[in-house]
Structure 1
Amino acid sequence: MTTTHNVRIWAVKKHKGKTKTTYRVRWVAAGREFGESFQTSALADSFRAELLTAARKGEAFDVESGLPVSKKREQPSMTVFELACSYADMKWPDSSPRHRSSTAESLTRIVLAMLRDNASLPEGKTTRKALMIAFNTKHRSGPHPESITDAIQAVARKSRDVTDLAKPDQLRAVLHELDRNLDGARAASNTGRLRRVTLSGLLDFAVEKTPLESNPLHEVKTKKRTYEVTEVDPRSVVNPIQARTLLDAVSTVGKPGPPLLAFFGLMYYAALRPEEGASLRRNDIAIPQPQLNAETGEYEYGWGDLMLRGARPEIGEQWTDTGEASEERSLKHRADKAVRIVPCPPVLTKLLHEHLQRFGTARDGRLFRGARDGGRIGSTTYGRVWAKTREIVFTPEVAASPLAKRPYDLRHACVSTWLTGGVEPTRVAKWAGHSLAVLLRVYAKCLDGGEKAARERAERALSGW
């Protein structure tokens, strides 16, 4: 441990933030500036008095931490890696499988940014995989391949102390890494926001564990990114004619296409999320039997209801409580056992009847299942079918555009169609399963090709008709 007697201690500085006031003690040891923030002036004065007393007694100060040697010994020692493991364990019980995976990814970025400069680690992909395992409460203990164990041990040895996070330059370096992808490109706005939320939670946890006196994010000045709610690109939203043409073409996509027609129909006609459609069971749909029209000789279908009780987000079994991949969860942003009722229009009623008659259900009653093991229908499978459908329907120029690029765009189109049709926004929000604020800020977009009609209505209004 390198020490110095060259110490200068400055007066307590009061800092008024937007939500609270803090008091910062600053001092210099061997030409390096250090600081600690406190919630009250009394705590700050007490800490400063300890520094002054140590300096007057001629006590050496540690150059790395800036603290008197005696106080350095009192400080609880914890590395960022140890803190991150404890934080992951604390968050695990109350987090969804997808949130657990997201938290582990963010912690991996933070820990890698807080390794000592002389860190010699295995190849980057191996180290990142090892850290994702280390931040998985269920699977941390192993057994694991030797390469994974060696990588975890190397990170544990090279991880910096938690107190280094209070150093402005070090914290800024971490924030910079969180805003970047592995290739160095800037991360998506929402990705960066989620990573910073994890960092803030980790620092608050460090305060609880006592290595830090306060969350340094409140003190360090950085260039803030503007995080906006991602809006639906109007160019991605199909109109009714385009949607029906696409759905008709799904059945022509070889063997995997026909069993997915009703799956895509649920997204377009009822605004279901893919994970909600993947969880839908036979006893969740209340649809009337078709009625034969004596005059036309054709069957007619009526309105029904879909009672959504859960969802099956696509996630690996290592993040779930049951050990089952894509285990069933409650509806998004809803309490356990909450039910959302969505109207089923006649055209969707027909699709569901035809699907049940032709393909039946899985053993547990699910309408859609994987071709091999009968498990959750995978995004890779329905993504390939949708990509092939767009190639069949669209010209190369349109296929290269954002129009209905993803199956999820069918949900956007459904919500936009409801709004365009005059359904009140509060009811649309209820059917779609999100708040009114999200509806108006994210989903209320014009249908493709609807801009001209909207401008004509505006022109008539300006003409005083």
Structure 2
Amino acid sequence: MPKGKEENAAPKTSGAVDKRSLLNPHQVGALLTWIAARPRTGHRLTAFFATLYYASLRPEEAVALRVEDAVLPETGWGELRIHTAEPEVGSHWTDDGDVHETRHLKGCAFGDTRTVPLHPDLVRSLRSPIERGQLKPGDLLFPGEKGDLLAGSVYRRIWAKARKAVLSDHEFNSPVGKRVYDLRHTA
């Protein structure tokens, strides 16, 4: 390889998950319990984080979910029908100045849908914010406080506070659960 080419090449990245970032079930339970105790938004955000962990969703998939995308029977298993994502790309990178951009599912063909089974416990967890917020089929499953898309800054901030409150100093200073996305990796 000619001199200089190597210097300008993009750094190689690993596709492997850093096992140091994975949470154990006790840690996840304690974090969800702490978040659930938050007065205004705890019930919604607990269901959001539980969906990332138990259904292995990406945050941008979960914020895009509508009530009609969830099949939540009174008893038994349910399912989520994932068909779109709303990643935060920044308002200066979108045509309409919006912070989020609607995209198809990562690694899937345009228009593909992914069906995710839901354990009965998660079904009950998801029914609660729908009933509490009196959400309709076209409404976001995890709305922000004003009914719009749940902002990444909001869920990242509460996640950081929960980690600080729940984890030991050693765990907090380690990579364990440092990013919200680590819930998906843990799943």
Q: Scaled by the length of structure 1, what TM-score is found?
A: 0.37
Structure 1 residue 247: Cα displacement: 1.2
CA contact (8 A) 1:245 1:393 kept: yes
Secondary structure class of the residue paired with 1:411: helix
Indicate the structure (1 or 2) with the bigger Cα radius of gyration: 1
Q: CA separation of 1:403/1:389 partners in 2, compared to 1, >3 Å: closer, same or farther?
A: same
Within 5 A, what are the aligned runs for 1:44-443?
172=4, 176=7, 192-193=10-11, 227-289=12-74, 301-361=75-135, 364-372=138-146, 374-414=147-187
Consecutive unaligned residues of structure 1, counting only runs of 5 or more, are: 1-16, 18-167, 180-191, 194-226, 290-300, 415-465
Change (3 A) 1:360 1:406: farther
Cα drift, residue 274 of structure 1: 0.3
Post-superposition shift, 1:318? 3.7
Distance 1:264 1:412, change over 3 A: same
Residues 327 and 413 of structure 1: CA distance in aligned 2, closer, same or farther (over 3 Å): same
Distance of 1:356 and 1:404 partners within structure 2: 27
Tell me if structure 2 keeps the 8 A contact 1:259–1:359: no
Distance apart, 1:364 and its partner CA: 4.3
SS at match of 1:302: coil
Whole-angstrom distance in 1 between the partners of 2:137 and 2:54: 26
Shift of 1:257: 2.9
Partner Cα separation in structure 1 for residue 98 and residue 167 of structure 2 = 38
- 3-state DSSP class of the match of 1:375? coil
Aligned-partner residue type, residue 23 of structure 2: V
Q: Distance in 2 between matches of 1:387 and 1:395?
A: 13
- Tell me: CA distance 1:360–1:367, structure 2 relative to 1, closer, same or farther (3 Å): farther
What's the secondary structure of 1:355's corresponding residue? helix
Q: 3-state SS of the aligned residue for 1:354? A: helix
Q: Which protein, 1 or 2, shows the higher relative CO under an 8 Å CA cutoff with sep ≥ 6? A: 2
Whole-Å Cα distance in 2 between the matches of residues 261 and 406 of structure 1? 16
* Contact 2:86–2:101 (CA under 8 A) maintained in structure 1: yes
Which structure dedicates a bigger proportion of its chain to helix?
Answer: 1
Q: 2:83·2:114 contact (CA, 8 Å) conserved in 1?
A: yes
Q: Give distance in 2, aligned partners of 1:264 and 1:355.
A: 13
- What is the number of equivalent residue pairs in this alignment? 187
- Percent of residue pairs identical: 38
Report the residue type matching 2:85 in the other structure.
A
Distance in 1, matches of 2:126 and 2:98, equals 27
Q: Which amino acid aligns with 1:336?
A: F
What residue identity is the alignment partner of 2:86? R
CA-to-partner distance for each residue in 1:82-133, whole Å, 9 max, x for gaps? xxxxxxxxxxxxxxxxxxxxxxxxxxxxxxxxxxxxxxxxxxxxxxxxxxxx
The 3-state SS of whatever aligns with 1:305 is strand
Q: Secondary structure at the match of 1:402?
A: coil
Shift of 1:249: 1.4
Structure 1 residue 363: Cα displacement:
9.1
Q: Please, what is the CA RMSD of the aligned residues? A: 2.5
